[in-house]
Structure formats: C-alpha cells, structure tokens
Homo-oligomer: A and B are copies of this chain.
Amino acid sequence: MSTVVSVEELADLVASIFVRHGMTPENADCVAEVVAAAERDGSTSHGLLRLAGYVSTLQSGWVDGKAVPVVSEVAPGLLATDAANGFAQPALRASAALLRKKARTQGIAALAIRSSHHFAALWPDVEPFAATGLIALAVANGRPRMAIWGGRKKILGTNPMAFACPRPGRPPLVWDQASSMIAQGEVLLAATRGQQLPPGISLDAEGIPTLDPNAVLQGGSMMPFGGHKGSSIAFMIEVLSAGLTGGRFGFEDNSAAYPGAQTSNAGEVVILIDPLHIEESHFFERIELLLEHIAASGAERLPSEHRYERRERALREGIAISDPNWTKLHDLLA
C-alpha cells in the first residue's frame, strides 16, 4: 500500500520536518524543494533516503538550520557568499538573481559559496539557470572519501560536477557526476549485502587495493573515475570549491566531533555564461544540430532525458510513498 502525493505536497511535508528540527521556514523550503525534486525525478539516492541524515545532522548541531547567508559582490563578475554554516541551497537562492543578472551583463559570472553543507544532488543547482538560457557549471567539495591518483590515503571528497546546456523551448541538457569511480552509497550497499566491490575502485586504510567494502568504510579510500584524469578533475574541483571560495578543504573536516553529522562543511562554485553575447555562434540552433548528430551516432539517450520522463510522470500522477516510508516521514515530524 502507498500514499500518493503531489510534488508540492511532498515538498511541504519535507519542509515541515526540517522546521520541526530547527530550520527556518525559508531555509527549510529551499532544501525541501531539492529533496522533493530528486524524488520527483527518480534520483532516489538523493531523495527521501537522505531525510534521516538531514535530521540527524541538524540534531547534531553540525549544521545551522537557521543560517542567514551573506552575499558579497566582490567584483563585477564575482559573488562571494558565506553560507554561514548552513545548507548550500539557501546560499544559492540568496545569490541566484544577482548571479544571473551578472552573467547577462558581464557575459560570464561566478558564485563562490563558502561554509556550506551540500547533501543533495548537484543538478538542481544548474538546471534552473540553464532553463533561462544560460550555460551553467557547478562544482562542490566534501569530506575526504577518495585518494588522489598515486596516493594511498583519502584526501579529497567525491567532488561532484554538474553541467547544464540550455535548449530553447525544451528542458536543458544536464549532467551531474561524482569524481569517484562509484558513489559512497554503493559502498555502503555492498557492505550491507556482504558483497565484494569490483576490482580497481578502492583502497584499504594502508593504501592497498581491496574488494572489501568494509575496508573502504574503515579508513580506506575510493578511487577517482578514469584514473589520473578523473583525479585531475577532482583536484580542480577542490581548488575551486574550497581554495577559491575560502571554504574548508576535505581534509579539514571535523564532523566526527558531532555524532550524527552526515554532511560536509565545504564550498561550491557556480559559473554562468550567457551564450547570446556571441551572435555569430547561433548557439541555440547549433546546439540542436550537435544533439541531432550525437543521436545519429547511436547514443540513444542523452543525459537527463530519463529524469525528465520520470518528472513528467510524477507531475501528472504524483509520487507514491510506500506505507513504511510514509510512517518514517511522519515519525520524523513527531
């Protein structure tokens, strides 16, 4: 049995849970929106599954649910926003209108968020900008889970990157990926199921390759995707998300002092480009041509198409919450 709710009803319910655990209604709305969006799009790993983690993190005192982000215009093309130990989404929301305006007038603009906790998918941070015609790139860092190429110990987060390419009259083409070979969640799942990991993706605490998910969880490391190349990408993300912003590097994480804390106090960078400034490029027409050629090369599905299909269905039919999950939701509200 299950209960069917609309996306909006789900977002409201999640927001109530966040308010119940100490967030301001404004901050709760922001974060609840991305949780509901993940559930709506079938990104269940970043949906309701994370709610208990949000709540235990709030309860631990590690993140400030009442944080008020401070947006500074440090240069005509650059915003520096202090998330003030709150979630990244309120900081992004506080900066978004000005960032968008800057991209339109300057051609390119960047937002550097520091002291932020990002526990959601990264695609919701770029999609809305691309939906208004801007090219958008976002990167974020986090607590160490991954070794750098050639290293033996975890030093970087699974540092995700998301990119959104606008399309006229259609939802943007968006991708969002971690810099690690597999997600932390998959390691947890393998440990729970007593399964081995595939070879070549993880090291134990001594830096020796291992197939044992428990060895990874007990001080071991994941490895970057694509060997040294993915490692380079993860390094760039660390330089931008923590170095440029002034957020904490992964290795500066001290969440262990807050039992129940599941997020990282880190940073995020969003870069927007307005393609309309270069008239000769006929950007929107030509991107459609590129996508046609990509489809003709045999790639049957573009990134994010799956999500949009599931989204359409969820918006039409609602989201079914199983009875056990429905009970859990209401337990978190109690």
* A residues with CB within 8 A of B: 74-78, 80, 82, 105-110, 112, 114, 135, 137, 147-155, 163, 165, 175, 177, 207, 225-230, 232-233, 235-236, 238-240, 242-246, 249, 251, 271, 273-275, 277-278, 280-283, 286-287, 289-290, 293-294, 296-301, 303
- Cβ–Cβ < 8 Å partners of A236 in chain B: 137, 163, 165, 175
- Chain B residues with Cβ below 8 Å from A275 are 243-244
Residue pair A243, B286 in contact (C-beta under 8 Å): yes
Q: Are B75 and A290 in contact (CB under 8 A)?
A: no
Q: List 30 A-B contacts (CB under 8 A).
A: A76-B105, A77-B107, A78-B273, A80-B280, A106-B108, A108-B108, A110-B273, A114-B281, A135-B244, A147-B297, A147-B298, A150-B298, A150-B299, A150-B300, A151-B294, A151-B298, A153-B297, A163-B232, A165-B239, A177-B228, A207-B298, A226-B227, A232-B303, A238-B290, A239-B290, A243-B281, A245-B278, A245-B281, A249-B286, A249-B293
Contact for A76 among B76, B154, B238, B278, CB less than 8 A? B76
Q: How far is the CA of A297 from the CA of B275 in the complex (A)?
A: 41
Q: Which residues of B contact A287 (CB under 8 A)?
A: 239, 243
**Contacts known (A239-B135, A278-B112); A298 close to B76, Cβ less than 8 A:** no
Q: State the oligomeric state as a number of copies.
A: 2
Query: A132 to chain B: closest CB distance in Å?
Result: 16
Among B108, B230, B271, point to the contact of A78 (Cβ < 8 A): B108
Residues of B within 8 A of A177 (CB): 228-229, 232
Docked Cα-Cα span, A303 to B151, in Å, equals 13
A114 to B279, CA, bound (A): 12
Q: Is the CB of A229 within 8 A of B225?
A: yes
State how many angstroms separate the Cβ of A295 from the closest Cβ of chain B.
9
Complex partner residue of A294 from B78, B148, B303, CB under 8 angstroms: B148
Which B residues are CB-close (under 8 A) to A225?
Answer: 226-227, 229-230
Nearest chain B CB to A178 CB, angstrom units: 8
Find A110's partner among B108, B207, B243, B280 (CB 8 Å cutoff). B108
Most buried by B among A110, A207, A282, A297: A297
Question: Contacts of A274 on B, CB cut-off 8 Å?
Answer: 75, 78
Contact indicator A244/B278 (Cβ below 8 Å): yes
Shortest Cβ gap from A142 to chain B (Å): 14
**Can you name the residue of chain B whose Cβ is closest to the Cβ of A147?**
B297
Q: How far is the CB of A101 from chain B (nearest CB, A)?
A: 13
B246 touches A74 (CB 8 A): no
CB-based nearest B residue for A180: B229
